[in-house]
Structure 1
Amino acid sequence: MKKVLKKGIPVLLWLVIWQLVALIIHNKILLAGPLETVRALISLSGTADFWESIAESTWRILLGFLVGTVLGTGAAYLAYTKEFIRDFLQPFVVTLKSVPVASFVILLLIWFGSKNISVIICAMVVFPILYLSTLEGLLSTDKKLLEMAEVFRMPGGRVIRYIFLPQLKPFFRSAFKLAIGMSFKSGIAAEVIGQPLHTMGNGLYLAKVYLETGELFAWTIVIVLISFICEKILALALGERNDN
């Protein structure tokens, strides 16, 4: 009960502040309150397009997250084993970290169209996060343990399981937390720009076009909740406990 109250009371206070500000502004186009947002969410949830949009966006974003994770960790291992690969990839990784998502989206729309834009963008956003975290974890591995494994001729599978994975686990935790949130941010932004049909980004854009601020907030809440749930599932998969 203490944990529930500790987390629930601040949320309730912010909802009250939100509602008070909405009442003061008294303009649903400029700022819809939580009550209008809940009504909009209930209205949206009664349509098939709403659930189809959630499913379509979520699986594409998670697919991009998976692709970026596999490519990022694989490239990090190659960079760990070969220094020239590390030097070769550095400008590419710096570019992916620095260039705005909008620039990539516009270019990719010209090349591939809008259908799979969120998959590609998410992979591009996740790649440098997982690459840098994995590489840092590999480089910080205790050299004495690796020398011991080499002396005792430990098989590669056991080296990965008993030396590398325990070392990488905290790096993966922080990287995955950051990457999953960035995946949803970048993926939805790509959908808003590219406008693939039956996606959450398309729902956000239509809410903006028709000045439905309540629907805009409703879509935003859904996106935040899905991102939060995915982050918690990843944390559980990595064995993380939350005692706060």
Structure 2
Amino acid sequence: MKHKIHLTVYLFLIWQLLAVAVHNDIIIPYPLATLLRMFEMLKSSSFYITLFITLSHVVIVVGISGIVAFGLAYLAYRVKIVEEYISPVLSILQAVPNISFVILVLLWASSLQTVYIVLFLVVFPLLYHHFIAGFQNIESDLRDVIRLYQPPFFDKMFHVYLPLIMPNFLSGMKSALSLGVKVAVMAEILAGLPYGVGRAINFARIQFDMIGVFSWTLWLVIMILFIDFLLNKLIHKE
């Protein structure tokens, strides 16, 4: 913890030195001005609405992706040929630049649909690979016990397999939520969505309001770190 505090202080000192050297808010705003703007944002209801909109996009898509990825990973775990076909395809999807997804999907979908589709294409492969690794790491003795008792399907899914792969599940959700926030903001900007954090950052950029851009960026960093903190607590409890 002490090292993280020291690192944060050093980064702010470097930022302050750069701001003094450049002495131009349009290029690098001063840290104090940015922090003051961040506190001003907290007084505005639109700040919370904007954050909620972007976060809701991420939570909805990660939730749907998690359900689909869990089901597909279980199928691939039980039927090896499914895993042999699915894993290479999803690996290729992960190799495609996110911006390419946005540009291609925008040709066929609306701005909001583009955000959802791009988010799904990015986080679904990530979750699948975490989940299939969890299934494959189940010890053979436990597999034999499950086959012996043959619990009902939904009991087996949610009371047997899910607890067994919980570390992989939480790790995957942590990565998906963190990545999802960044991809959602990028997709909102490129798709021209009229609301959300992406729209706020893009509007600040157009107005040459770099203090606004830095402020929103720092709030996103804080939000991602907070999500990581909560999920790390859950992971370490397992």
Normalised to the residue count of structure 2, the TM-score between the two structures is: 0.88
Residue 37 of structure 1 corresponds to which residue in structure 2?
Answer: 34
- Verify: 1:108 aligned to 2:137, yes or no: no
1:91-170 mapped onto 2 (5 Å cutoff): 91-153=88-150, 160=157, 164-170=161-167
- Verify: 1:62 aligned to 2:59, yes or no: yes
Deviations 1:172-214 (A, max 9, x none): 2322222111101111110110121121001111121121111
Residue 230 of structure 2 corresponds to which residue in structure 1?
Answer: 233
Deviations 1:98-117 (A, max 9, x none): 11111111122222211243
Q: For 1:199 and 1:154, locate their aligned partners in 2 and report how far apart those are by CA, in whole Å.
A: 45
| Contact 1:61/1:118 (8 A) holds in 2 | no
| Contact 2:58/2:119 (8 A) holds in 1 | yes
Give the AA of the match of 2:148.
V
| Contact 1:66/1:123 (8 A) holds in 2 | no
Give the counterpart of 1:12 among 6, 9, 26. Answer: 9
Give the counterpart of 2:76 among 67, 76, 79. Answer: 79
| Contact 1:101/1:186 (8 A) holds in 2 | yes
Aligned with 1:115: secondary structure? helix
Give the AA of the match of 1:142.
E
Give the AA of the match of 2:11.
W
Normalised to the residue count of structure 1, the TM-score between the two structures is: 0.86
Aligned with 1:112: secondary structure? coil
Structure 2 unpaired stretches of 5+: none
Deviations 1:105-138 (A, max 9, x none): 1122222211243332222211111111111111
Deviations 1:16-61 (A, max 9, x none): 2211221122111111121121232234444443332111111111
Give the counterpart of 1:22 among 19, 43, 62. Answer: 19
How many residues align? The count is 237
Q: For 2:51 and 2:159, locate their aligned partners in 1 and report how far apart those are by CA, in whole Å.
A: 39
| Contact 2:174/2:227 (8 A) holds in 1 | no
Q: For 1:192 and 1:38, locate their aligned partners in 2 and report how far apart those are by CA, in whole Å.
A: 23
- Verify: 1:184 aligned to 2:181, yes or no: yes
Structure 1 unpaired stretches of 5+: none
Give the counterpart of 2:198 among 201, 207, 211. Answer: 201
Give the AA of the match of 1:17.
I
